[in-house]
Amino acid sequence: MNKLSLVFLVSLTGPYLIATAQPVGSKFALWDGKESVAEYAKRTKLEPTLTLDLGGVKWEGTLIPAGMFVMGSPPGEAKTEKESAIEKQHTVTISEPFYLGKYELTQAQYEKVMGANPSRTKGANLPVHNVSWQDADDYCTKLSEKVKRKAQLPTEAQWEYACRAGTTTAYHSGNTIADLSKVGWHAGNSGGKLHPGGELMPNAWGLYDMHGNVAEYCLDHYDAKFYATLPTTKPTLMPLKLPSNRRYSYVARGGSWIDPAERCRSAERAYSVPDWQKKDPQAPQSIWWNNADWVGFRVVRAVEEHETLKGMRSKITKESPN
């Protein structure tokens, strides 16, 4: 059995949390690169899926194996040198398996927990949208309280690892727009609208709509230079740019129904901006208002909560700066 034990070498230079993995031993077996989720689950004695009852509405999670992967885009994939630098490749270790939402969070799932539905285009099975990062984080907090299990947004590394599901191509389905259109709703095939989850093909780990439909918030604060701070000679364990008290910018991954194909790549790094709040009719503007009907999220439920994420709560308040 391939095992890896992890020695934390933590650097808190600025708001970064970086820990490098060294091969010494590990609690969780790593994915072997070939086995299915069901096979990995059997080998590690974990359930391949997780269902949470939200009170008449179910949430389905798919087991994502622990493992290693190359994060970022290879030379020539990004359109510009600047984007290529932002997406600089580096090896990452995901040391612990986790359950990720099989679908983007739906409006029915959001409303059942929050008691409201901010989405502009209504539909119980459509992805929730017009949500801020703060909304998404608040949802995870309330969901955790409701089901007595810790829920959170995926880290940017967890998101890309789960999206790729062992692939190295621009999309988990291949490199062409035709490949993307089989698995994701983008500007070229969406018909100018959102779609219910699960209408197209899933990736190898059973996740739907990782490309397109709505972009998905991650836990990380966005920093274009973050990848450049990570080691290139050894794997990085769970890289995370810690959330702060600033409202912007937070990572949003996967692209959306209004985006061109290149913005839906596995390595594409989008982020929230103040313009997403500009149409808030309230004065002063709310920290929860969001005009972006192309952004939603999906939820992680860890097998075991990562030590570095325990007790993490949003620091955003009404007085927080942009």
Across 68-72, 191-195, 239-243, least confident range = 239-243
Nearest to 212 by CA among 236, 233, 192, 232: 192
Nearest to 87 by CA among 227, 239, 195: 227
Maximum Cα interatomic distance, the chain, rounded to a whole number of Å: 59
At 248, the amino acid letter reads Y
Sheet of strand 90-94: strand arrangement: 16-20, 236-241, 90-94, 67-71
Residue 24, pLDDT above cutoff 70: no
Distance of CA 265 to CAs 21, 68, 219, Å? 27, 19, 19
Q: How confident is the model at residue 274 (pLDDT cuts 50, 70, 90)?
A: low
Query: Phi/psi of residue 52, each to 5°?
Result: -110, 135
The tokens for 88 are 């600089």
Across 4-8, 146-150, 186-190, 294-298, least confident range = 4-8
pLDDT at position 282 is: 45
Residue 16, pLDDT above cutoff 50: no
At 272, the amino acid letter reads S
Determine contact, residues 56/112, Cβ cutoff 8 Å: yes
Q: How confident is the model at residue 152 (pLDDT cuts 50, 70, 90)?
A: very high
Mean pLDDT of the chain: 84
Domain ranges of the chain: 16-307
Condensed to tens digits (0 to 9), the pLDDT of residues 207-225 reads 999 999 999 999 998 989 8
Across 114-123, 151-160, 191-200, 235-244, least confident range = 235-244
3-state SS, residue 90: strand
Across 4-18, 273-287, 295-309, least confident range = 4-18
- 112 by Cβ neighbours in 10 Å (0-12 / 13-18 / 19+) ranks as buried
3-state SS, residue 262: helix
Cα 266 to Cα 277: distance, rounded to the nearest angstrom: 26
Residue 227, pLDDT above cutoff 80: yes
SS3 percent helix, strand, coil of the chain, rounded to 5, is 20, 20, 60
Q: What's the average model confidence in pLDDT over 292-296?
A: 88
Domain covering 16-307 assigned CATH 3.60.70.12 in the classification: no
Nearest to 6 by CA among 115, 92, 106: 92
What one-character DSSP code corresponds to residue 229?
G
pLDDT at position 259 is: 94
Angle between helices 107-114 and 133-147 (to 10 degrees): 70
The tokens for 161 are 């690892």
Vertex 216: Cα angle to 215 and 221 (nearest 5) = 115
Distance of CA 187 to CAs 11, 44, 160, 193, Å? 40, 40, 21, 9
pLDDT at position 310 is: 62
Q: How confident is the model at residue 5 (pLDDT cuts 50, 70, 90)?
A: very low
pLDDT at position 272 is: 79
Cis peptide leading into residue 249 (ω within 30°):
yes
Q: How confident is the model at residue 19 (pLDDT cuts 50, 70, 90)?
A: very low
Condensed to tens digits (0 to 9), the pLDDT of residues 38-50 reads 999 999 999 999 9
Question: How far is Cα of residue 20 from the mean position of the Cα atoms in its chain?
Answer: 21
* Kind plus residue range of the DSSP H or E element containing 58: strand 58-64
Cα 51 to Cα 58: distance, rounded to the nearest angstrom: 7
